[in-house]
Structure 1
Amino acid sequence: MALLKHPVFRRLYAAHIIHIIGNEFTFIAVVGLLHDLSGSGLSFAAGTVFRMVPYVLTSFFSGALVENWDKQRVMITVNLLRGILVSLFFFISSPAYLWVAFLLLIAVNICSAFFQPAMQVAIVSAVAEKDRLTANSLLQGTTSFLIIVCQGVAAILVYLFSYRYNFLLDAACYMFSLLILLRLPKIVIDTNSSLATSFVARLQEGFRYIARKKDIGQVLLYQMAERVLGAYYIMLMYYILQERGEGLYVFGLLDIPLGLGGVFAGIVVTKISDRLGDKGVSAVQGWTLVAMGLSIYAVFHITPIFGLAAAILVCSLASYSASILSVTKLQRLADPDYLARVFSIREMATMGSFSASCLVLGYGAEKVGSAVVSGWLAVFGVIAGFLWLWTRSRLERQVADM
């Protein structure tokens, strides 16, 4: 693929792959750690909140800071810090130190909030606009494929050995990713020198810019709705480990259909988006929310494990398709001078809605059961999907009448 011959994108892509491999090993290990230390469904939700809330709050200002920083140094520093912090999970073994696990989750995700805007600016600066959909699909498809492979391997390792070694594997992956980024060619970024230079002014400009750009605001609201639905995953942990009483390795294996959905989404979106045009893409976005709502309901009402896996596959396909299309739209709609701020505000908005939804779903699943809560999510997904379709149709009619 021609994109992989590009010296900047090739190294960003390689660093991303290595970092995702480690993340997948750590994710199941964190689930196992929280399960061992507390065994409560609320601990899963709390773990997600302690991951996401610091990320959300840091994302509020990270984009405005990153704009004036060297993007390569930001990514290298973040990976160094994450590698050190993740390795410390290995030493937590007593319920008395559950608070330390939460503290490490907070620290890791504060660091991560600086990586995403830096990487997005680097991709947009290095990749031509006509190739960005392909780049986003490649990144998402590869990420999802790695979920399949790494979660399968992680599940086997958890079954045969201790999940704790996964933390050390992730730390090693961060360090390897760091070495790749050290060889990243100089990234040339065009900026408008007339933009405000103070941090506070840049932050205010970012929010005012999104308020003026209604298309960007609508895409952000759409992604917030998708992330509310995506929070079903935290409920899935409780459902598998507590309500069904399955082993941790079963939960890991169910990440395989989750990854397959992302792979298929990367392939399908790349093939159909050019044929559909903006109107068709907007229609696909609406129907993906509807599909997510219905498949989430199916996940918690199908007893056979293979049926449950099939429902997760459908939900994953819809979710990843929505994400790829939305990220590509934002890259196209946002001016380069505001790109870092737009994506940091996006992270704040989407992960904020995700973490709040995780807390509500975790509490709801423990109080009334996952099956009941999945019905609420199904209704939300269907309403949100049709609301998006209606608003886009109304906008198109207004444009046609002008």
Structure 2
Amino acid sequence: MLADTTPLRYPAFRRLWATNIVTVIGGQLSVVAVPQQVFEITRSSGYVGLTGAFALIPLIVFGLWGGALADVLDRRRLLLGTGAGLGVTSLALWAQAAAGLDNVWLVLGLLAVQQSFFAVNQPTRSAVLPRLLPGEQLAAANSLSMTVMQFGAIAGPVLAGILIPVIGLSTLYLLDAIALLATLWAVWRLPPLPPSGTVGRAGLRAVWAGFAYLATQRILLASFVVDLIAMVFGMPRALFPQIAHQTFGDPAAGGPALGLLFAAMSVGAVVGGVFSGWVPRVRRQGLAVVVCVGLWGVAMIGFGVAVGAASGRSGIGSLLFWIALACLAFGGGVDMISAAYRQAMLLQVATDEMRGRLQGVFIVVVAGGPRIGDVAHGAAAASVGTAVTAAGGGVLVILGVLVAAVAFPAFVRYRVDRTGGNGPAQLA
């Protein structure tokens, strides 16, 4: 039942995996710092939700273009360049916060720049894995990578909640920049990773070719659709600063409730990752994704109900607070399993010359979906409140994934052929 650690026998993957622990923790400090700073400046969940819009546009543009770049450039050099860009942007965020400028548009603008580098970096990083590992290790490698990411997403927000009152919000950005050095070192140690096959240009034609290829792969298309349903309707993180302050008694500047809310999903994801030894043995991966997304919707309904039942400023010691955290943790666990299967599908089905572009689409969906959700949840909370917004989103997730299952029956029947080594997956 425990996680399959076989991919860690490969030195290049092991270095990337180990150093990513530090980098992810640092990155999660900024994930908390940006919405908290926006909330401090504006006292509005609507503005916090607006962070999703400022992050979404660069994610779409540079995610798609970055995927094309990953197919025509040396992926090691691309990772080094974009990693350095992320570090410089974190330093700029630190400078504006330390100077006390309190300009929400400057924060949002730097967030957009940061997400531009992220959108190129992530599809490139994912497209590297099949060059470092055999195909049968990809599902296990994805589980290990996601477990590390989610561990960082626990430690980062909890540390942020503890450190903000001690060292100030601005220092979180500086720590993020320093932590990026670890992964840059691991990338530097990689061998050259030039493109395979015919090398073209990373222009609009290459991006369009990726979409044309995706249109012929209904299994992958369906995996993107169900993830968008889960994240757009069921990701309530834009509500966390308001819920922490108004419902559970955090100070307006942030505190332990804020950190625990941001960390709760990742706690569940780490538990799911640690006990993910059974994940590679599941053949009906499409059906497993549908079930996981449905359970995510149930978890968000439970979270919304718990928030609604909590009296104002009930504090982090209340039973309802811990019930709300438990619902988020359960949702994080099933989402980790879903993501491991969807990423394995993409890496196994797509050809190497298309992996970068499809990883670009994947990053747009995985990172862009929650950003759309931020905007939607922030706007809805201004009208109907945080509890109704969170619970209603969970209901929409369940309805949406049922519609998707009917619309894409081949996805529900999708299974992996274990007898074919690195061969393609098949339908039941």
TM-score after normalising by structure 2: 0.85
Counterpart-to-counterpart distance in 2, 1:235 and 1:136:
29
Does structure 2 conserve the Cα–Cα contact (< 8 Å) formed by 1:289 and 1:384?
A: no
Counterpart-to-counterpart distance in 1, 2:181 and 2:331:
33
Aligned pairs (5 A) from 1:1-400: 1-93=5-97, 94=100, 97-187=103-193, 191-193=196-198, 196-197=200-201, 199-247=203-251, 248-249=254-255, 250-274=257-281, 276-278=282-284, 281-302=285-306, 303=310, 304-391=320-407
Counterpart-to-counterpart distance in 1, 2:236 and 2:136:
34
Q: 3-state SS of the aligned residue for 2:40?
A: helix
Decide whether aligned partners of structure 1 residues 241 and 50 sit closer, same or farther in structure 2, where only a CA change above 3 A counts: farther
Decide whether aligned partners of structure 1 residues 42 and 128 sit closer, same or farther in structure 2, where only a CA change above 3 A counts: same
Q: How much identity, in percent, do the aligned residues show?
A: 18
Decide whether aligned partners of structure 1 residues 223 and 269 sit closer, same or farther in structure 2, where only a CA change above 3 A counts: farther
Greater fraction of residues in helix: 1
Does structure 1 conserve the Cα–Cα contact (< 8 Å) formed by 2:147 and 2:269?
A: yes
Decide whether aligned partners of structure 1 residues 96 and 3 sit closer, same or farther in structure 2, where only a CA change above 3 A counts: closer
Q: CA deviation at 1:241?
A: 2.8
Decide whether aligned partners of structure 1 residues 369 and 215 sit closer, same or farther in structure 2, where only a CA change above 3 A counts: same
Q: Which residue pairs with 2:313 in the alignment?
A: none
Does structure 2 conserve the Cα–Cα contact (< 8 Å) formed by 1:15 and 1:181?
A: no
Counterpart-to-counterpart distance in 2, 1:330 and 1:395:
13
Which segment is superposed worse, 228-237 or 32-41?
Answer: 228-237
Q: 3-state SS of the aligned residue for 2:103?
A: helix
Deviations 1:345-392 (A, max 9, x none): 222244443322321210110111012222431221111232344456
Decide whether aligned partners of structure 1 residues 269 and 285 sit closer, same or farther in structure 2, where only a CA change above 3 A counts: farther
Q: CA deviation at 1:322?
A: 1.4
Does structure 2 conserve the Cα–Cα contact (< 8 Å) formed by 1:45 and 1:359?
A: yes
Counterpart-to-counterpart distance in 2, 1:68 and 1:215:
25
Q: 3-state SS of the aligned residue for 2:72?
A: coil
**Matched letter for residue 260 of structure 2:** L
Q: CA deviation at 1:28?
A: 1.9
Decide whether aligned partners of structure 1 residues 254 and 352 sit closer, same or farther in structure 2, where only a CA change above 3 A counts: closer
Does structure 1 conserve the Cα–Cα contact (< 8 Å) formed by 2:210 and 2:357?
A: yes
Decide whether aligned partners of structure 1 residues 352 and 181 sit closer, same or farther in structure 2, where only a CA change above 3 A counts: closer
TM-score after normalising by structure 1: 0.90
**Matched letter for residue 64 of structure 1:** A
**Matched letter for residue 132 of structure 2:** A
Q: CA deviation at 1:317?
A: 1.2
Counterpart-to-counterpart distance in 2, 1:89 and 1:393:
46
Does structure 1 conserve the Cα–Cα contact (< 8 Å) formed by 2:16 and 2:183?
A: no
Does structure 2 conserve the Cα–Cα contact (< 8 Å) formed by 1:206 and 1:342?
A: yes
Deviations 1:255-297 (A, max 9, x none): 34322211122234441441x312xx22221122221112112
Q: CA deviation at 1:81?
A: 1.5
Q: 3-state SS of the aligned residue for 1:317?
A: helix
Decide whether aligned partners of structure 1 residues 242 and 398 sit closer, same or farther in structure 2, where only a CA change above 3 A counts: closer
Q: CA deviation at 1:230?
A: 4.5
Counterpart-to-counterpart distance in 2, 1:398 and 1:228:
24
Q: Which runs of 5+ in 1 are unaligned?
A: none
**Matched letter for residue 323 of structure 2:** G
Counterpart-to-counterpart distance in 1, 2:390 and 2:30:
27
Counterpart-to-counterpart distance in 1, 2:414 and 2:168:
60
Q: State the Cα RMSD in Å.
A: 2.6
Does structure 2 conserve the Cα–Cα contact (< 8 Å) formed by 1:226 and 1:322?
A: no
Q: 3-state SS of the aligned residue for 2:305?
A: coil
Does structure 2 conserve the Cα–Cα contact (< 8 Å) formed by 1:23 and 1:170?
A: yes
Counterpart-to-counterpart distance in 2, 1:60 and 1:395:
24
Paired residue total: 397
Deviations 1:159-214 (A, max 9, x none): 3331221111111111332233222223365x222x75463332221111111122
Q: Which runs of 5+ in 2 are unaligned?
A: 311-319, 416-425
Decide whether aligned partners of structure 1 residues 3 and 222 sit closer, same or farther in structure 2, where only a CA change above 3 A counts: same
Q: CA deviation at 1:5?
A: 3.1
Counterpart-to-counterpart distance in 2, 1:35 and 1:122:
37
Counterpart-to-counterpart distance in 2, 1:396 and 1:28:
36
